[in-house]
Amino acid sequence: SYCLFSREKKRRRLEDLTEKMAVDSGHMDSDCDWDGRWNHVKKFLERPGPFTHPDFEPSTESLQFLLETCKILVIGAGGLGCELLKNLALSGFRLIHVVDMDTIDVSNLNRQFLFRPKDVGRPKADVAADFINSRISGCKVVPHFKKIQDFDDSFYRQFHIIVCGLDSIIARRWINGMLISLLSYEDGVLDPSSIIPLIDGGTEGFKGNARVILPGMTACIDCTLELYPPQVINFPMCTIATMPRLPEHCVEYARILQWAKERPFGGFLDGDNPEHIQWVFEKSQERAAEFNITGVTYRLTQAACATEVFKIATSAYIPLNNYMVFNDVDGLYTYTFEAERKENCTACSQVPQDLQFPPSAKLQEVLEYLTETASLQMKSPAITTTLEGKNKTLYLQSVKSIEERTRPNLCKTLKELGLSDGQEIAVADVTTPQTVLFKINFTA
Amino acid sequence: MIEKEDPVISEEEAAQYDRQIRLWGLDAQKRLRGSRVLLAGVGGLGAELAKNLILAGVKGLTLLDHKQVSEESCRAQFLIPVSAQGQNRAQASLERAQNLNPMVEVHADSDRVEDKPDDFFLQFDAVCLTGCSRDLMVRVDQLCSQHNIKVFCGDVYGYYGYTFCNLGQEHNYVEEKPKVVKPSSDSSDGPEAKKAKVDPNETTMVKKTASFCTLKAALEVDWTSEKAKASLKRTPVDYFLLHVLLKFRTDKGRDPDPKACAEDSRLLKQIRDDVLEAMGLSGDLLADDFISYCFSEMSPVCAVVGGVLGQEVVKALSQRDAPHRNFFFFDGRKGNGMVDYFGPN
């Protein structure tokens, strides 16, 4: 009955949308859609597959649907976002939503061309939408000055395609997880109409890549997590100066901006001097407290002080997937390839993950496994489990009082904590909107 | 080429160009800051290139286009307002182009490229030709390269696009390479110490030179020789597609038009047969299906080709990083890009 309901919901949604289809075709006159202009799209729509809705008749109306009813979500209104909005609007898409939590900084103006100097300080989503709406007639961009995490599934369900121009792996994993959570299965078979394609792009310096993800069908972000290079602690100055989100941002603020301004010990920061590091650590903590960010540790501060390189945060794959690669002296080429789905992917495989630990292992070791394993790369996992029928938090970092209360558990062994062989633990983290289940198997 | 004074980067520029200065350095930015560029043709591709060069912060960009704004022009590019129908394309694009970066001198010129005297081109450091006929491109390329002016050509036809550049017979540039730390000669250290190591934090600038041929030479490759025939397998068919589309443009004085789809499709097929036959090659080399995908300028394809072309101009003017030598072909249907060299060895 759930399946019928969800299909009916989809059918009704489609009817709704078709009814609202604008009578005024504006600049989308039929004489601009010459024979063959949308052949590629037609082929796509006429082929039976995940995008052929049961109530959908392939015809010229499919085209109208695509151009006048298709709702696209653009995540990020920065470098990629501006380009994406421009390309989509020029290609004829009219119903576009854009989400971005940032405001405009002067250093954005060299590439985020929808913004002018007078816009500095204003939300990117708002300014981008204004620009497109007032210059491309018929196009309706709806801005959202929000974090992607501020929306729930009901928001994301309304879109036919989601395109990302994000600047963090965490955010990518989150939206990836969200779209996977929207998938519905009937007797173990994936319902194709529940798939929302995710088109993800990233750039770093002169390099960039783009990929298409069909959640539940093709490789997802987590399937290929190992392709991302380790996230070095270096972030854009605009984020550090005005909109910190991570403990690393706070440390960089203290290390770079405050140090330069206050020069507490006269000269340059010495990464080997404990007094210097202590100063940076304390300033970082103050900044973190101001923005309600947890996770600033002495160890993190020390690591940041030791590195001298200041690179831009990485959002691109290492060598693969539409990536410019040197091919001998004579050529550079881009190539496309299909990433393979990972069999036991934590995000999209629906298979509970098995962990092996001796009963004498401390909870700290489990925590380290979750954060340091390349295929998981969690940021600050919260671990809960069910003991004696009751839900118990083993460790949680993001709420100060709970962190203090559960911190002693880190030094306790799994046996001491009351876990048994085959025990399931639920792990929540910023990298995923849903908790991930793990099964702990005791080794000898 | 006019003698340049050493440009100074103001505080305002340093703040705005921060992200790119981190990428290519202050010296490169200064060179851009002193460069004047000519852009002929402000269609879909031209608009993208204009955006990229203006944002990059060149000294001046001249938009040269004699055509009038049509209904299609407004939809092909984002610099022309919908209300500008009937105006000259360059003039109509001026305001929004200038707004992208007030620090760049943007000019609009409504003359025909063909009517410009030779010395008009000599005031520029780089000349970019889009939407131009083969003969015109060959003539301008010849003239400019004789005067050390960098030449770029590019077009977008539906899903397909290309760029070409001629940076002269001796184009000097630098590449930033990681420093190789020489091993210590102290024999008391183990074998590990004897290996040359790469220090990731230290880089050094390596001087290089690249040589380019004229557009004429690049287009007039002889395919009848045995050597050429042998290399055919490795040759991107895009090269031959370019010949077909340039011939269409020469014969019809315009590019394939959606409104004349049936007639233009027939003509494209005919030209494909003629061009390949004249080169002594089989008509099978370029299959029929390209025909339905080469009409109009597709916005995302313009963005990709305009992006690559923009970066080539930046590299050439700043004399930093290896240039693409000498063609870049983009196939939007496959999502493939290819750099390849055509011309005498």
**CA atoms in the 13 A half-sphere facing the CB of A248:** 14
User: Cβ A87–B18 below 8 Å, yes or no?
Assistant: no
Q: How many CB pairs under 8 A join A and B?
A: 102
The residues pairing with A199 across neighbouring beta strands, listed in sequence order, are A163, A212
Lowest mean pLDDT among A156-170, A293-307, B63-77: A293-307
At residue A149, does pLDDT exceed 50? yes
Side chain identity, residue B220 = E
Quote the pLDDT of residue A262. Answer: 83
| Neighboring chain A residues of B335 at a CB cutoff of 8 Å | 322, 334, 336
At residue B142, does pLDDT exceed 80? yes
The whole-number average pLDDT for the span A284-308 is 78
End-to-end CA distance of chain B: 28
Predicted confidence band at A129 (pLDDT cuts at 50, 70, 90)?
A: very high
User: Minimal Cα distance from A330: which residue of B?
Assistant: B340
Per-residue pLDDT tens over the stretch A337-351: 566 777 778 788 777
What mean pLDDT, rounded, does chain B reach? Answer: 90
User: Cβ A40–B303 below 8 Å, yes or no?
Assistant: no
Quote the pLDDT of residue B40. Answer: 98
The one-character DSSP state at B147 is: T
Quote the pLDDT of residue A382. Answer: 92
Lowest mean pLDDT among A213-227, A363-377, A383-397, B166-180: A213-227
At residue A2, does pLDDT exceed 50? no
At residue A227, does pLDDT exceed 80? no
Q: How far is CA A353 from the centre of its chain?
A: 22
Measured CA to CA, the distance from residue B232 to residue B274 in angstroms comes to 18
- Give the start-to-end residue ranges of the domains of chain A: 35-228+301-337, 245-290, 353-442
Per-residue pLDDT tens over the stretch A20-31: 322 222 233 333
At residue A113, does pLDDT exceed 50? yes
User: Cβ A36–B339 below 8 Å, yes or no?
Assistant: no
Quote the pLDDT of residue B217. Answer: 96
Measured CA to CA, the distance from residue B3 to residue A436 in angstroms comes to 65
User: Cβ A34–B259 below 8 Å, yes or no?
Assistant: yes
Per-residue pLDDT tens over the stretch A32-49: 344 444 444 444 344 333
* Nearest Cα to Cα of residue A38 among A64, A18, A57, A14: A64
Quote the pLDDT of residue A241. Answer: 66
Spatial CB neighbours of A328, under 8 Å, sequence gap ≥ 6? none
The one-character DSSP state at B133 is: -
Lowest mean pLDDT among A116-130, B15-29, B180-194: B180-194
Measured CA to CA, the distance from residue B306 to residue B156 in angstroms comes to 9
Spatial CB neighbours of B259, under 8 Å, sequence gap ≥ 6? A31, A34
Predicted confidence band at B91 (pLDDT cuts at 50, 70, 90)?
A: very high
At residue A58, does pLDDT exceed 80? no
Predicted confidence band at B7 (pLDDT cuts at 50, 70, 90)?
A: low
Lowest mean pLDDT among A95-109, A246-260, B10-24, B61-75: A246-260
Tokens 């790369």 belong to residue = A377
At residue B304, does pLDDT exceed 60? yes
A325-327: strand order across its sheet: A325-327, A331-334, B336-340, B327-331, B160-166, B150-157, B126-130, B36-40, B60-64, B105-109
Q: The domain A245-290: what is its CATH number?
A: 1.10.10.520
Per-residue pLDDT tens over the stretch A177-225: 999 999 988 888 888 888 899 999 888 777 778 888 888 888 888 888 7
Question: Which of A206, A331, A336 lies nearest to residue B339, judging by beta carbons?
Answer: A331
Question: Which of B78, B82, B261 lies nearest to residue A90, judging by beta carbons?
Answer: B78
Quote the pLDDT of residue A330. Answer: 33
Pairing assessment for the beta strands A390-395 and A382-387 based on DSSP bridges:
antiparallel
CATH topology assigned to domain A35-228+301-337: Rossmann fold (3.40.50)
% pLDDT > 90, chain B? 67
Side chain identity, residue B138 = V
Instruction: Output B191 or B46, whichever has higher pLDDT.
Output: B46
Identify the residue among A41, A72, A109 best suited for mutation to test binding to B, counting B beta carbons within 10 A and taking the highest: A109
Quote the pLDDT of residue B74. Answer: 73
User: Cβ B333–A40 below 8 Å, yes or no?
Assistant: yes
Measured CA to CA, the distance from residue A158 to residue A72 in angstroms comes to 9
CA A150 vs CA A100, A145, A347, B127, B310: distances in Å: 11, 10, 20, 49, 38
Pairing assessment for the beta strands B36-40 and B60-64 based on DSSP bridges:
parallel
Quote the pLDDT of residue B192. Answer: 53
* Nearest Cα to Cα of residue A109 among B128, B79, B90, B20: B20
Farthest CA pair distance, chain A: 75
- Give the start-to-end residue ranges of the domains of chain B: 11-170+298-339, 171-207, 219-292
Are the folds of A35-228+301-337 and A353-442 the same?
Answer: no
Instruction: Output A179 or A245, whichever has higher pLDDT.
Output: A179
Element (H, E) at B27: helix B18-33
ipTM of predicted assembly, 2 dp:
0.88
Q: How far is CA B136 from the centre of its chain?
A: 16
Quote the pLDDT of residue B114. Answer: 95
CA A87 vs CA A205, A383, B302, B303: distances in Å: 21, 43, 9, 8
% pLDDT > 90, chain A? 35
Farthest CA pair distance, chain B: 82
Spatial CB neighbours of A139, under 8 Å, sequence gap ≥ 6? A89, A93, A94, A96, A132, A133
Quote the pLDDT of residue B328. Answer: 95
Quote the pLDDT of residue A376. Answer: 87
Task: Tell me, letter by letter, the H, E, C secondary structure of chain A.
Answer: CHHHHHHHHHHHHHHHHHHCCCCCCCCCCHHHCCCCCCHHHHHHHHCCCCCCCCCCCCCHHHHHHHHHCCEEEEECCCHHHHHHHHHHHHHCCCEEEEECCCECCHHHCCCCCCCCHHHCCCEHHHHHHHHHHHHCCCCEEEEECCCHHHCCHHHHCCCCEEEECCCCHHHHHHHHHHHHHCCCEECCEECHHHCCCEEEEEEECCEEEEEEECCCCCCCCHHHHHHCCCCCCCCCHHHHHHCCCCHHHHHHHHHHHHHHHHCCCCCCCCCCCHHHHHHHHHHHHHHHHHCCCCCCCHHHHHHHHHCCCCCCCCCCCCCCCCCCEEECCCEEEECCCCCCCCCCCCCCCCCCEEEEECCCCEHHHHHHHHHHCCCCCCCCCEEEEEECCEEEEEECCCCHHHHHHHHHHHHCECCCCCCCCCEEEEEEECCEEEEEEEEEEECC
The whole-number average pLDDT for the span B158-162 is 94
Is A227 within 8 Å of A317 (Cβ atoms)? Answer: yes
- Class in CATH terms, B11-170+298-339: alpha beta
Spatial CB neighbours of B134, under 8 Å, sequence gap ≥ 6? B219, B246, B247, B249, B250
Interface check B311 vs A, CB under 8 A: yes
Superfamily of domain A353-442: Ubiquitin-like 2 activating enzyme e1b. Chain:  B, domain 3 (3.10.290.20)
CA B213 vs CA A329, B170, B248, B341: distances in Å: 17, 10, 24, 10
CA angle B16, B17, B23 (to 5 degrees): 150
* Residue B92: both structure tokens together: 């109509």
Per-residue pLDDT tens over the stretch B224-276: 888 888 888 888 999 999 999 999 999 999 999 988 989 999 999 999 999 99
Identify the residue among B339, B340, B341 best suited for mutation to test binding to A, counting A beta carbons within 10 A and taking the highest: B339
* Residue B119: both structure tokens together: 């010395």
Check whether the bond before A327 is cis (ω within 30° of 0): no
Question: Which of B20, B51, B336 lies nearest to residue A336, judging by beta carbons?
Answer: B336
| Neighboring chain B residues of A333 at a CB cutoff of 8 Å | 336-339
Instruction: Output B23 or B273, whichever has higher pLDDT.
Output: B273
Measured CA to CA, the distance from residue A284 to residue B244 in angstroms comes to 63
Lowest mean pLDDT among A235-239, A387-391, B68-72, B312-316: A235-239
The whole-number average pLDDT for the span B199-203 is 66
Q: How far is CA A246 from the centre of its chain?
A: 15
The residues pairing with A195 across neighbouring beta strands, listed in sequence order, are none
Chain A residues within 8 angstroms (CB to CB) of chain B: 27, 31-32, 34-37, 39-40, 83, 86-87, 89-91, 106-107, 109-111, 113, 116, 135-137, 205-206, 236-237, 308-310, 312, 322, 324, 330-336
